[in-house]
Copies of this chain bind each other. A is one copy, B any other.
Amino acid sequence: MVGWLRRGRTRARGVSRPVRSEAVEATRVELAELAPDPQAYLGQLGYLTIVLFESLGRGATAAPTASGKSRFGRVAAEVLGIHEAVLGELRDLGVDPAEAMEPYRARLDDFQRRTRGDDWHEILMTCYLASGFLLDVYAGLAAGLPTALGERMSALLADDDAEDLLVEELREQLDGNPRLAARLAMWGRRLVGDILLVARSALSIDGRFPPEERVEPVFTELIAAHTRRMDALGLTA
């Protein structure tokens, strides 16, 4: 999910660095120190990708055109690719994937309920912002995993570009529709609170939250990345 953001930024502001790599680079050291153990990392990411898949399926159902539906399908295929790879890593660790994901189910199901959105535009926005923000977090945390696993996770989370399709779709919808822009800017602001809570919990280990002073700089940068994602749509964060 890198190329599209680069293109987005180029068009929107003439800046050529992708949001993902920019955010991950700026937070790599801080996030590495806050990485949970491999099982917790993989369990959370495994369940998160399920939740994203569900949202994308709902987006496809709500999309009014065949091409819109296909775009959601492409993004879902990528998210499911990450999901399968994560499950494979858990099995290689000798851990049952369902058991590893279970502790994160209630929180992420709740996140999903709170951020469902009332219509296709809001679902689209949720998919775009939540997957962007949260996969940034896991890409950054990968630096704190055991080396080989961390490298595989970095590659897995960096090497895709299907969300470009969501941005394209959003831009097409927003073009010449200031009323929708105002509504989606509001929805984006509402989403960021819920997304931050999930991101925060990704940093905790066994429910113990890390101290604020270590978390603060990470969040500052992640929110900056979120703002750049809104900018890419011409919306105010």
Contacts and interface: CB of A to CB of B under 8 A. Distances in A.
Interface of A: 46-47, 49-50, 53-54, 56-58, 60-61, 65-67, 69-70, 73-74, 76-77, 80-81, 83-84, 87, 97-98, 101-102, 105
Given A77-B81, A80-B76, A66 B47 contact: yes
Contacts of A46: 66, 70
Dominant secondary structure at the A interface: helix
Contacts of A60: 50, 53-54, 57
A87 B165 CA distance: 15
Contacts of A101: 66, 70
Given A53-B57, A57-B53, A58-B61, A74 B84 contact: yes
A99 to B, nearest CB: 8
A76 B57 contact: yes
Given A66-B105, A67-B98, A70-B87, 9 more contacts: A49-B73, A50-B70, A53-B76, A56-B57, A66-B97, A70-B101, A73-B80, A73-B84, A76-B80
B67 A53 contact: no
A119 B49 CA distance: 22
Nearest to A47: B66
Contacts of A81: 77
A50 B67 contact: no
10 contacts: A46-B70, A57-B57, A57-B61, A65-B98, A70-B87, A70-B97, A70-B101, A73-B80, A73-B83, A80-B80
A77 B77 CA distance: 6
A23 to B, nearest CB: 27
A88 B74 CA distance: 12
Nearest to A62: B54
Contacts of A61: 54, 57-58
A136 to B, nearest CB: 22
Nearest to A116: B61
Contacts of A67: 97-98
